[in-house]
Amino acid sequence: MIDSFALPFLVFCVIFYASSVGLLFVSVLAAIIHPWIVERRGSRKDRPPVSVVLPVKACEPGFAKAQESALAQNYPQFEAIASATEASSPAVEAMRGIFARHPHVPSRVVHSTARFAASPKVDNLFRPFNDAENDVILMKDSNVILEPGDLAEAMRHLKEGVGLVCGIYYAAQAENFAAQVEAAILNGPHQRMLFTTSVLGGGFGVGKIMLFRRGDFLRAGGFAAIAHTVGEDNATAKALKKIGLRTVFSHRLVRLEVGRRNFRDVYDRQLRWFVVRRNDEILSFLAEPFCQALPAVAASLAVAPLVGLAPLVGAAATLGLWLVMERLLCLAKGWPLSSASPVVFLAREATMLAVWLHAWTASKVVWAQATIDTRTAGGETAVPAPHSVAEEEG
């Protein structure tokens, strides 16, 4: 007879396992059908002028390719503004050279000296957001590569009732094992949840690319509404929601070339994102184990005997199911696969579970080689006046 403790535990395992496996199937299907479903919603026809803001920090491999992709957009009218917190750096010098190679695009470099936000990225964005000539702004991170039509396609979704359009990214060109693990994380459970949310008509702030109207951003509170967190992208989406504007995803994915990675950096970056979700999206944070394979494998040890299987057989079958479904998704999307994929998959799952457990107690995160205490950063400093925080170059 099952005792009073074992029965609730067994019921929990059954519910958890069924929910986790069901979510796996639903999210893989959503990822596959996402482009066709979401493209039909992009109904805006006009093409207003855009200010493309390019915050820069480090000049990493692939920097020039990624930044030049923003200047190669098939779009009738846009300007480009590069911003940096350093007056001179390899990244700043690289941007000057890139702008010189594209004289047909109005462009300038801005040195931002704002220091008020929890996120160094927000400090860097303060001046270009205020100085932009156009109301519509596209912010693009320096490691994201756009196709020539991505801006025009994203604009289709910035319609009435929408305040923010983001792009779901996919990782490519991983050149060592740590990079393969990070690519598997980026192309894995969290991304599948973004696809599912998008297919259902929702969205989250994802800061690789963000398209919005500056007027809406200011009505939603502007920088004062996002200065308190290192998750400025999701904070922007939440601020816009408060004034009745939705966040959606474009039907076009954006490419992130990961290159070579150091595992310590991978872990620190994932921890920062998990801590942001813990602080700003607690339900999403609590749901993380439902998206991961190892918790489902653990639940299968208790569930398998209920259907006549040995616990280890159930665990192996569950692990195999996850691996097969994700490989099918990669094939459907045309993403790279290698013979090391099973090992990478296991390393990814172990890393994600470790990071999730660590994030329960972590308060300090690493961003751009600086350690930030999420409990105190950005909490007391007032947003400065726009004219006091930059120097500009043509």
Q: Is pLDDT of 389 > 80?
A: no
Quick one: which of 71, 103, 90 has its CA closest to 394? Answer: 103
Helix (H, G, I), strand (E, B) or coil at 139: strand
Write phi, then psi, for 6 (nearest 5 degrees). -65, -35
pLDDT score of 330 more than 90: no
**140-to-68, 146, 245, 259 alpha-carbon distances in Å:** 11, 9, 21, 19
pTM of the model as a whole: 0.91
Please give, one letter per residue, the 3-state secondary structure of 251-290.
CCCEEEEEECCCHHHHHHHHHHHHHHHHHHCHHHHHCHHH
SS3 75: coil
pLDDT per residue as tens digits for the range 161-190: 999 999 999 998 899 999 999 999 999 898
Cβ neighbour number for residue 376 with a 10 Å cutoff: 10
Of 373 and 276, the one with more pLDDT:
276
Is residue 373 exposed (0-12), middle (13-18) or buried (19+ Cβ within 10 Å)?
exposed
What is the C-alpha to C-alpha distance for residues 193 and 202, in angstroms, rounded to an integer? 11
Pairing state between β 169-174 and 209-213:
unpaired
For the stretch 78-124, pLDDT in tens is 999 999 999 889 999 999 999 999 999 999 999 988 888 888 899 99
Burial of 20 (0-12, 13-18, 19+ CB in 10 A): buried
Instruction: Find the mean pLDDT for residues 308-322.
Output: 95
The rounded Cα 87 to chain-centroid distance in angstroms is 28
Domain ranges of the chain: 45-187+202-260+378-393
Structural domain 45-187+202-260+378-393, CATH architecture: Alpha-Beta Complex (3.90)
- Interacting residues of 329 by C-beta distance below 8 A, sequence separation 6+: 28, 31, 32, 192, 335
Average pLDDT, the chain: 90
User: What is the pLDDT confidence band of residue 196, given thresholds at 50, 70 and 90?
Assistant: very high
pLDDT score, position 390: 43
Band of pLDDT at residue 58, cut at 50, 70 and 90: confident
Q: Tokens at residue 21, please?
A: 């496996």
Q: For the chain, what percent of residues have pLDDT higher than 70?
A: 93
Rounded distance, CA 23 to CA 171, Å? 22
Residues sharing a CB contact under 8 Å with residue 57, sequence separation 6 or more, in sequence order:
84, 85, 91, 120, 124, 142, 368
Q: Which residue has the higher pLDDT, 379 or 388?
A: 379
DSSP secondary-structure letter at 88? Answer: S
Q: Any bridge partners for residue 391, and if so which?
A: 111
User: Rounded to 5 degrees, what angle do the CA atoms 259, 265, 266 make?
Assistant: 70
Contact in structure between 319 and 49 (CB atoms under 8 Å): no
Q: What is the pLDDT of residues 182-193, one digit of tens each?
A: 999 999 898 999
Amino acid at 89: S
- Do 50 and 78 form a contact (C-beta atoms < 8 A)? yes
In percent, the amount of the chain with pLDDT more than 90 equals: 75
Q: Residue 295 in contact with residue 392, Cβ under 8 Å?
A: no
